[in-house]
């Protein structure tokens, strides 16, 4: 995985991965998300992401959407608790067209009043759709419970009440405070030379006015452990357990990523999948996930099962957690876990769009891009004693909150 870094005088950084392919991918990542919204304006970052596609100083909605689609390209965006990202896939000759469009959307959107009201209706429909998917909404509700009272403790979509109040002044103030050039990363993967890309980014992004500064983000306090049950008009039980975890900068991050993958990560051979689904056949979906953030992290286990089987499924989960806390992995177990995880990481690099977004996040979080060899070295450095320590810290019963959706 070869990459090059380009720094523009205005602070925007570009990471380029050179790949001999006729298809290219690019992203623009801004270090601003839902946790940066003011109280009473929840959902603002996501609302802006929608509105970026509506109208700029020189393009209407149709021209924006057609700019890449007319040449077979694809344009999309998403918002997280900490980032806003626009990304595109296109044929090699259209990189300048893509970068010009990125610059136009992020720095020249005009947010017309009629589009604001129209898009509020679209987001209300999105909220309704989301509420119809308990397997999705329970994860967000769990995060809200985990970080209640903190900037991380509210849904990215916001609330109907807050959404109704959002206006152009809110949008412009959020952009002024958060869209800083020193916290913008552009990722590009394709068949381009450094000289070519440097010329293109200078031409399209070099005139953006420099803005610096840092987010005033307050780390969340240690969560209160809560066990919550909610009755809903559903047919299946959905259940999440977990807690706060390590940040992106914590030396135990690699160890928890490995432990998570072993416990309930990708593939059919995770411990939870083998025991709960394959051996006992009592959960269609069971998985664990670890999301490191800038100053904390989130670890959770999710399962969906028939209500009469839920207690047994949870007992099996807790048994597996206890085994990881009480028994150190053997040499062969640890070796196999590392080989599996490294193989999955390497295979995931075949998705070049996901990879370039990941590289951009790495540059944003750490100020540098890790090579695949460095990632593998961090995984290989994890030992069984460290995994046991992590399991006892993150998977301790007294540290695990839970949220269950049960049929009425």
CATH number at residue 334: 3.30.830.10
Q: What is the pLDDT at residue 358? A: 94
Q: What is the pLDDT at residue 191? A: 96
Q: What is the pLDDT at residue 231? A: 95
Q: What is the pLDDT at residue 127? A: 92
The pTM is what?
Answer: 0.94
Cα separation, 382 vs 384, whole angstroms: 7
- Do both 260 and 403 map to the same domain? yes
* Residue 31 counted as domain residue: yes
Q: What is the pLDDT at residue 267? A: 81
- Do both 241 and 137 map to the same domain? no
What is the domain range of residue 191? 3-205
- Do both 324 and 187 map to the same domain? no
- Do both 162 and 247 map to the same domain? no
Segments of the chain scoring below 70 in pLDDT: 1
Residues in contact with 120: Cβ distance below 8 Å, sequence separation at least 6, in sequence order: 47, 163, 164, 166
* Residue 218 counted as domain residue: no
- Do both 100 and 183 map to the same domain? yes
* Residue 150 counted as domain residue: yes
Q: What is the pLDDT at residue 202? A: 98
- Do both 165 and 258 map to the same domain? no
* Residue 389 counted as domain residue: yes
Q: What is the pLDDT at residue 1? A: 57
Q: What is the pLDDT at residue 216? A: 82
* Residue 56 counted as domain residue: yes
- Do both 126 and 30 map to the same domain? yes
Last residue of a domain, one of 170, 205, 240: 205
Using the structure block, give the residue that is written with the tokens 């992401």. 49
- Do both 308 and 374 map to the same domain? yes
Beta bridge pairs of residue 240: 302, 403
Q: What is the pLDDT at residue 25? A: 98
- Do both 288 and 155 map to the same domain? no
* Residue 220 counted as domain residue: no
**How many structural domains does the chain have?**
2
- Do both 49 and 185 map to the same domain? yes
The CA radius of gyration of the chain, in Å to the nearest whole number, is 22
Q: What is the pLDDT at residue 284? A: 85
* Residue 210 counted as domain residue: no
Pair 408, 233: CB distance under 8 Å: yes
- Do both 197 and 232 map to the same domain? no
Q: What is the pLDDT at residue 343? A: 95
- Do both 100 and 236 map to the same domain? no
């Amino acid at each position: 995985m070869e990459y090059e870094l380009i720094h523009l005088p205005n602070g925007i950084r570009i990471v380029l991965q050179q790949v001999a392919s006729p298809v290219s991918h690019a992203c623009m990542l801004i270090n601003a998300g839902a946790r940066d919204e003011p109280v009473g304006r929840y959902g603002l970052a996501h609302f802006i992401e929608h509105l970026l596609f509506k109208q700029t100083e020189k393009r209407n909605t149709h021209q924006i959407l057609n700019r890449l689609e007319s040449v077979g390209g694809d344009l999309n965006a998403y918002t997280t608790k900490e980032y806003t990202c626009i990304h595109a896939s296109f044929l090699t000759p259209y990189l300048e067209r893509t970068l010009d469009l990125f610059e136009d959307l992020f720095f020249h959107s005009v947010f017309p009043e009629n589009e604001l009201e129209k898009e509020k209706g679209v987001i209300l429909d999105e909220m309704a759709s989301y509420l119809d998917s308990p397997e999705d909404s329970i994860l967000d509700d769990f995060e809200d419970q985990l970080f209640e009272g903190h900037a991380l403790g509210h849904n990215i979509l916001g609330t109907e009440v807050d959404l109704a109040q959002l206006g152009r002044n809110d949008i412009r103030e959020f952009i002024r405070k958060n869209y800083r050039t020193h916290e913008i990363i552009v990722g590009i993967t394709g068949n381009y030379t450094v000289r070519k890309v440097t010329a293109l980014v200078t031409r399209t992004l070099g005139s953006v006015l420099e803005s610096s500064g840092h987010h005033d983000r307050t780390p969340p306090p240690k969560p209160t452990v809560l066990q919550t049950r909610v009755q809903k008009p559903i047919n299946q039980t959905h259940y999440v357990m977990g807690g706060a975890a390590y940040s992106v900068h914590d030396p135990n991050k690699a160890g928890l990523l490995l432990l998570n993958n072993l416990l309930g990560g990708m593939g059919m051979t995770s411990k939870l999948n083998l025991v709960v689904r394959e051996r006992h056949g009592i959960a269609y979906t069971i998985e664990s996930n670890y999301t490191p953030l800038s100053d904390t992290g989130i670890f959770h286990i999710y399962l969906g099962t028939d209500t009469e089987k839920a207690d047994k499924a949870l007992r099996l989960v807790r048994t597996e957690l206890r085994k990881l806390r009480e028994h150190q992995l053997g040499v062969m177990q640890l070796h196999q876990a590392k080989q599996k995880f490294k193989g999955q990481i390497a295979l995931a690099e075949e998705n070049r769009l996901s990879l370039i977004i990941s590289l951009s996040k790495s540059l944003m979080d750490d100020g540098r891009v890790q090579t695949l060899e460095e990632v593998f070295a961090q995984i290989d450095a994890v030992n069984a004693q460290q995994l046991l320590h992590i399991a006892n810290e993150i998977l301790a019963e007294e540290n695990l909150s839970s949220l269950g959706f049960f049929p009425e």
